[in-house]
Chains A and B, each alone.
Chain A
Amino acid sequence: MTISGDARQDAQQKIEAYLRRLRQRLRGMNDEGAREIVEELRSHIMEKTAATGGTTVAGVDAALAGLGNPEELAGQYVTDDLLARAEVSRSPVRILGSLVHWASLSVAGFFVLLGGVIGYFCGAVFILIAVAKLFHPHTAGLWTYPDGGGQLALSFRLGFRSPPVGGRDVLGWWIVPIGWVAGCGLVMLTTYIAVWFVRQYRRSLFLPRG
């Protein structure tokens, strides 16, 4: 069977269009890694179409169908790349970015993201109060105040508003060192736990290590 030049060109254009969509979704990965993925899949498509009698549109369609949607395919590479980088990263922003991606793919990822957000939020609150105390010494801090039902309520305050009526600044200036230690500790602990989960997930082959 002879394949006309036009038919071969159409088939080639289909391959290039598919690889272009894939490449677009691989943005964010390093250039060398993305280029290698594209070249490997190009090689695969050529190999498959050659096995079915040459570069025809039908052959290319079949090969591309086997690989599936290019965006979904790229998503699998990008997720693993992001998690791999999160595993060696100590940056909360990068870790949260990776967890968001993981959460969009699995329930486990969603819960780790939830824990990460809560951990970082609490850490940030402690650090912010420690900083705010320096600028609002009379209103920022950890306050207790009567909640009206005979109980004492606890309030973390940045100091932009007046203290609660009948309230008491529990820690005073101690909030500065305690806030820093607790805040940084929470951020570090959250990072450590998130990275641990990411590491377990990436190594979670069906059979555990003996």
Chain B
Amino acid sequence: MGVQLRKGCLELAILAALWDGKLYGLEILRRLESDSDLIVSEGTVYPLLSRLKALGLVESEWVESDAGHPRKYYALTSSGRHRVREMAGMWTRFSSSMSRLLAPVSKGK
């Protein structure tokens, strides 16, 4: 359960990181590290990106860079955009109901 929960969160987080536009792997990792408390392993993110691509939620393209090597950029597909919006709504509802449930616990500390 723990692994599935973490992986599920990570998939949502990756999709959300791409909301504003296309990013390549290392940029996604940096975005996740700076904007969330998720402990992200690089060896987990790349296979997950490949899986999200196979599911049609993201698409990718190679872009030449000044760094001397091409970078593989990912962007949300329309179905990925629809999915992340749907998941974000569910997450917000889930999170607020958990907050209500946990409120007495927090007050009683």
* Range class of the B interface residue count: 20 to 34
Question: Is the C-beta of A168 less than 8 angstroms from some C-beta in chain B?
Answer: no
- Would you call A170 an interface residue if the criterion is a C-beta within 8 Å of the partner chain's C-beta atoms? no
| Minimum CB–CB distance for B47 against chain A, Å | 4
B38 within 8 Å of A (CB atoms): no
Residues in A19-60 with C-beta less than 8 Å from chain B: 36-37, 39-44, 46-48, 50
**Is A204 part of the contact surface with B, judged by Cβ < 8 Å?**
yes
| Alpha-carbon distance between A41 and B87 when the two chains are bound, in angstroms | 29
CB distance from A195 to the nearest CB of B (A): 16
Beyond A40-B72, A73-B47, A204-B4, whether A68 also contacts B41 by CB under 8 A is: yes
Asked, given contacts A46-B68, A210-B86, whether A40 binds B8 with beta carbons under 8 Å apart, the answer is no
**A/B pair count, beta carbons within 8 Å:** 80
Q: Are A43 and B11 in contact (CB under 8 A)?
A: no
Give the chain A neighbours of B72 by CB distance below 8 A.
36, 39-40, 43
**Complex alpha-carbon distance, A209 and B83, angstroms:** 8
Q: A206 touching B5 by the CB < 8 A rule?
A: yes
Q: Check B9–A206 contact: CB distance below 8 A.
A: yes
Instruction: Among B42, B50, B55, B91, point to the contact of A37 (Cβ < 8 A).
Output: B50
Q: Give the interface residue-count category, chain A.
A: 20 to 34
Whether A76 sits at the interface, judged by CB under 8 Å, is: yes
Closest 7 CB pairs between A and B? A206-B8, A68-B43, A76-B47, A66-B42, A207-B90, A67-B43, A40-B72
Shortest Cβ distance from residue B50 to the other chain A in the assembled complex, whole angstroms? 6
- Interface mask (B8-27 → A, CB under 8 Å = 1, otherwise 0): 11011000000000001110
List, in ascending order, chain B residues with CB within 8 A of A205's CB. 8, 11-12, 87
Measured CB to CB, the closest approach of chain B to A64, in angstroms, equals: 10
Residue from A68, A73, A207 whose CB has the most chain B CB atoms within 10 Å: A207
- Bound CA span A46–B4, Å: 31
Given contacts A43-B69, A205-B11, A207-B12, contact A66 B43 (CB under 8 A): yes
Interface, chain B (partner A; CB < 8 A): 4-5, 7-9, 11-12, 24-26, 41-44, 46-47, 50-51, 54-55, 67-72, 86-87, 89-91, 94
- Cα of A1 to Cα of B7 in the assembled complex, Å: 40
Which of chain A's residues have a CB closer than 8 A to the CB of B5?
206
Distance between B17 CB and nearest chain A CB, rounded to angstroms: 15
B24 — which chain A residues lie within 8 A by C-beta?
A: 43
For B71, the closest partner residue in chain A by CB is: A43
User: Which residues of A180-210 are within 8 A (CB) of B?
Assistant: 202-210
Given the contacts A206-B8, A207-B12, A43 and B46 also touching, CB distance less than 8 Å: no
